[in-house]
Amino acid sequence: MQDDAPQQPQLYLITPPEFELNTFPDVLARVLDAHPAACVRLALATRDEDRLSRAADTLRTVTDARDVALVINDHVLLAERLGLDGVHLSDAARSVRHARKTLGDDAIVGSFCAGSRHDGMSAGEAGADYVAFGPVRPSVLDDGSHAETDVFEWWSQMIEIPCVAEGALDADHIARLSAMTDFFGVGEEIWTQEDPAAALATLWASVG
């Protein structure tokens, strides 16, 4: 059991689902130089293996230079082939054991569990290094479900495995969840802004 909640959550950056490979790495570098992060997740929506590989190789020059881990969404075999730091799985606990067996003990294996405590615990038992809950607010997308604040509160009090709060973050939710989560997964909240680094600075000022 965790004795107390984390006091200072770390930044976990999530790339846009689409980006220009000739410009985005520079944007990412500026954001990382302004705001140190624990991890970057390559979250391209494409299933084009060549494009994913080129994006991973290019972003890795940015993350390696700053000693930041780089993981990829779902593609376990590609993560292994490219020698990435790990994988973020979007199917709760279902693929965790396979990913851990494939990538080894030193790899990062994360699991998105929406708002389900049960899925989070199952992922942890299967070997996940972290679980992610979100989005933190309801929306009209998908079925409108979201991760309630009490999920984060319960997790921080009862479970030692780190958790990530991600999706639809705003300053109010960051302030509210800061004492209950280990990482904030920030992505679309900043990349659509004219100056992502400045947008993150505004958002991150709520961490306390």
pLDDT in tens, 29-42: 999 999 999 999 99
pLDDT tens, position by position, 158-207: 999 999 999 999 999 999 999 999 999 999 999 999 999 999 999 999 99
Vertex 182, ends 2 and 44: CA angle to 5°? 140
- Distance from C-alpha of 133 to C-alpha of 12, rounded to nearest angstrom: 13
Instruction: Tell me what pLDDT residue 141 has.
Output: 65
Q: Is the pLDDT of residue 7 over 70?
A: no
Domains in the chain, ordered, with CATH?
A: 10-204 (3.20.20.70)
Instruction: Tell me what pLDDT residue 202 has.
Output: 96
Q: Which strand (E) or helix (H) includes residue 142? A: none
Instruction: Tell me what pLDDT residue 138 has.
Output: 87
Instruction: Tell me what pLDDT residue 208 has.
Output: 73
* pTM for the predicted model, two decimal places: 0.94
Vertex 135, ends 57 and 169: CA angle to 5°? 80
* H and E: helices and strands count for the chain: 9, 8
Region class of 35: left (phi > 0), else alpha (psi between -120 and 50), else beta: beta
What stretches of 83-191 show up as alpha helix (H) in DSSP?
A: 96-103, 117-126, 149-158, 171-177, 188-191
Instruction: Tell me what pLDDT residue 2 has.
Output: 40
pLDDT tens, position by position, 73-115: 999 999 999 999 999 999 999 999 999 999 999 999 999 999 9
- Distance from C-alpha of 148 to C-alpha of 183, rounded to nearest angstrom: 16
User: Which amino acid belongs to residue 53?
Assistant: S
Considering only CA atoms, which of 18, 91, 83 is closest in space to residue 57?
83
Q: 41 - beta bridge partners?
A: 14, 71
pLDDT tens, position by position, 123-166: 999 999 999 999 999 876 667 789 999 999 999 999 999 999 99
Vertex 141, ends 18 and 92: CA angle to 5°? 75
Half-sphere exposure of 23 (CA within 13 A, CB side): 5
Q: Is the pLDDT of residue 1 over 50?
A: no
